[in-house]
Amino acid sequence: MTVAVYVAMYAGALLFLVGCLKRIYQYARTPFHLRWELYPVPHEQPDRARYGGSYFESGEWWLSPQAVHHRGDWTAMFREIVFLRGLWEFNPRLWLPSFLFHFGLYLSIVTAGLAIAGAAFGALIPGVVAGRMTADAFVIAGWTGATGILLVLAGSIWLLIRRATDATLKNYTKAGDIFNLTFFIAAFACLAYGFLGSTVNGASFEEIARGALRFDRGTHVGATAGLGLILVSALAAYIPFTHMSHFIAKYFTWHSVRWDDRRNARDGIVESKVAVSLRNRPTWAAAHVGADGKKSWAEIASANPAEEVRK
């Protein structure tokens, strides 16, 4: 069990990373698209961002450089990521289960980070102070871990019940969605039972973290806790290949679509990207488009199908 847990943890982390990079690469290399922002755009001047105004509200805006208030973006992102502001505002019924679930996940990630840092710190830096810091990290990890596990469990059970009972979701709930939530419930239930249950008899979370770092086969991982760690690792590997990787998608939907109000200044970077896009060669078949796979988009845009009809 111990080796299986270590292998799963490393493989899960690796696949998670590879999957995320693949997704990021997939979206980052899509072409520079037409402007399609939605207001409010939070990096507008703060007095405008409040009601959703844009620089188009000023006369002759092109005579001054575009002001971008990054703080607005950061604040909006913080509220969205930590507090799920969008759901709070537009779907309050779903906010609590979703918040429990996501906040629990954040705490679990913090726990994993603290455990890795604590184990690595303890192994690399000997001494009393380092020892105390490592111990503190594990104490905090104990609390964040326990809270995180319980919140994820509560959130995912709640979400599953909602999926199963809300008739309006009938068209939109796939077998995969039920499976995903069940997967979370199973993984975090095992963790809860394995680490927080009253009859815990295997290695503690701290010992497993230290053991995993040194690949110490002597560490005795309890069966349920081990199963929980394997399932969580499998989940981590699985998430980037599903719609649940929306934490990546959100970066692009926010920064490259909803908030992307970059102006196309003469001879600027946007203009040069546009010039590249206009070289694409479409093959759309409708006669009025006049595409043949050879003509560029710029040539198609310069043609007038109505004139040709007139000839």
Partner 1 sequence: MSHFTRLRDLSRSNREPVIHLDNEELMPLPAPLDDPAREHAWTPLSEQCVTRYECGLDDTCAVNIPQPKTAEEEKELVGRFLSGLDKLFDKQNNWTFLQPLLLTMEHCTGCQTCAESCHIFEASGFNELYRPTYRSEILRRLYFKYVRHGGLLSAWQHGNIRLNWPLVARLIELSYRCNLCRRCAQTCPIGCDNGLVAHELRKLFSQEMGIAARELHEQGSMLQLKAGSSTGMTAEIVKDNVDFIDEDISERTGIEVHTPWDVKGADVLLIHNAGEIMAWPENPGAFALILTMAGVNWTMSSELAGYDSINYGLWYDDAQFARVALKHVEAAKKLGVKQIIVGECGHAHKALCVTADRLLTGDFNIPRTSWLPLVRDIVMSGKIKFDPARNDFPVTLHDPCNMVRLMGVVEPQREIVRALCPQFREMEPHGVENYCCGGGSGFAIMSGNNFPDWRFHVAGRKKMEQILNAFADCIGPETPKYLCAPCSNCKGQFRDMLAYYDMWEQNRIMYGGLVELIVNAMVDVKPGFIEWEWR
Of residues 39-68, those binding partner 1 (CB under 8 A)? 39-41, 44, 48, 51-62
Cβ–Cβ < 8 Å for 248, 20:
yes
Answer for which of 165, 171, 198, 199 binds partner 1 (CB under 8 A) is 171
| Dihedral sign (CA 214, 218, 222, 226) | positive
Instruction: Provide φ and ψ at 51, rounded to 5°.
Output: -110, 0
Answer for which of 94, 154, 200, 213 binds partner 1 (CB under 8 A) is 94
- Of the listed pieces 125-133, 203-211, 226-234, 303-311, which binds partner 1 according to CB under 8 A? 303-311
Residues 6+ apart with CB under 8 A from 43: 49, 68, 69, 70, 72, 73, 259
Output the smallest distance, CB 190 to partner 1, in A.
23
35 binds partner 1 (CB under 8 A): yes
Site string for partner 1, 253-292 (x = CB under 8 A): xx-xxx--x-xx-x---xx--xx-xx-xxxxxxxxxxxx-
- Using DSSP, state whether 19 is helix, strand or coil: helix
Q: Which residue, 40 or 142, is less far from partner 1 as judged by CB? A: 40
Output the smallest distance, CB 189 to partner 1, in A.
22
End-to-end CA distance of the chain: 79
Judged by CB under 8 A, the chain residues 96 through 135 that form the site for partner 1 are 98
Answer for which of 168, 199, 294, 311 binds partner 1 (CB under 8 A) is 168
Answer for which of 10, 243, 269, 292 binds partner 1 (CB under 8 A) is 243
Tokens of 86: 């969008």
Answer for which of 65, 165, 167, 311 binds partner 1 (CB under 8 A) is 167
CA–CA distance, 171 with 248 (Å, rounded to integer): 25
Question: Which residue blocks in the chain are alpha helix, DSSP H?
Answer: 2-28, 46-49, 70-83, 85-90, 92-124, 128-165, 175-191, 205-214, 223-238, 246-252, 269-277, 297-302, 305-310
Total residues binding partner 1 (CB under 8 A): 95
Q: Which residue, 220 or 273, is less far from partner 1 as judged by CB? A: 273
